Structure 1
Amino acid sequence: MVLIKELKNETEWKAAFVVMKQLRSHLDEVNYLQLVQEAIQKEGYKLVALYDNEKMVAVTGFMPMITLYNGRSIWVCDLVTDSDSRSKGYGEALLNYVQKWSKENGYDIVSLSSGLQRVDAHRFYENKMEYDKVSYVFLKRV
């Protein structure tokens, strides 16, 4: 049985680290927990997990944003499926959850960025999920 639920406390966030670490390998558990807590408190970040037969197999993190170019929108910060559970529709199910949440809460755009090297993910977003490639994201460390 598949279940999708929002993770609301440190114990649940900690359980998600095993999966999230596969996407955010630069984070250790302490920094991850601090960032999740701060993002939830200050940015409205939501951390959501997909369970298959009570085993967490995928997670997503997203947050509402208001910008002049998109208006009220949702930004998908993180989307990852456990490496042993890929290509089973879990990423699609989580992204559909985010899109439904977005629509139900008055946000009519869902957007995300994806690393240039993640060609398979790009195919998934464009072909399977029907996302449009509309920009490049630039980053400078200061």
Structure 2
Amino acid sequence: MNFAILIANTDQEINSCFSVFKELRPTLNYQEFLPQVRRQESQSYQIIAIRQHGEIKSVAGFRFCEFFAWGKVLYIDDLATLSSDRGHGYASSLLAWLIEYAKTEGCKGVHLDSGYARHAAHRLYLQKGFRLSGHHLSLEF
């Protein structure tokens, strides 16, 4: 597979990831996307992406967090691949990169939340050694 993993830093790189994020998060708005990413960066949020033939195929948004329960972890907010490009190993490659990056940054683990119906994603996470360890509960206003 001939592709590059890049850390999206510039406005252009971040904006080029929008269409993949939009598939995962349909309520995203292009005009609000970059300003929100920039706000989240103040909380250590970063984006990595796979680019192949000039097109972004897969993205991951992540941050470093510290918890009493887990210590320092790399938390994956978002992991998505264009629906037309699934099954090529892009998400698996990003996940492998994130796991190694977490290790080099002294993290005690990698954490994420995933929707109940995302069965293909769950298969990938379990293949990478993740375990189902709890339920995420939320109260929205």
* Distance in 2 between residues matched to 1:25 and 1:32, nearest whole Å: 12
Identity of aligned residues (%): 26
Report Cα offsets for 1:115-138 as digits up to 9, x if no partner. Answer: 112122112211x21210001000
Aligned to 1:136: 135
- What is the letter of the counterpart of residue 34 of structure 1? P
1:92-140 deviation digits (Å, cap 9, x = unpaired): 00001111111111112001000112122112211x2121000100011
Name the SS for the 1:43 alignment partner: coil
In 1: Cα distance, 2:77 partner to 2:31 partner: 19
User: 1:17 maps to which residue?
Assistant: 18
What's 1:106 paired with? Answer: 106
In structure 1, the residue matched to 2:47 is: 47
Name the Cα RMSD after superposition. Answer: 1.0
Q: Is 1:124 aligned with 2:118?
A: no
SS at match of 1:21: helix
Matched residue, 2:79 = 79
- Tell me which amino acid in the other structure corresponds to 2:75: W
TM-score (norm 1): 0.94
Cα deviations across residues 34-57 of structure 1 (Å, max 9, x unaligned)? Answer: 2111011x2111101111233210
How many residue pairs match? The answer is 140
Unaligned runs of 5+ in 2: none
Whole-Å separation in 2 of the counterparts to 1:85 and 1:7: 20
Deviates more, 1:57-66 or 1:28-37: 28-37
Could you say which residue in structure 1 is the equivalent of 2:94? 94
2:8 alignment partner in structure 1: 7
Q: Determine the C-alpha separation between the residues in 1 that align with 2:118 and 2:96.
A: 20
Structure 2 counterpart SS, 1:39? helix
Query: How far, CA to CA, are the matches of 2:52 and 2:19 in structure 1?
Result: 15
Cα distance in 2, alignment partners of residues 71 and 19 from structure 1: 31
SS at match of 1:75: strand
Q: Normalised by the size of structure 2, how large is the TM-score?
A: 0.95
How far, CA to CA, are the matches of 1:112 and 1:140 in structure 2? 18
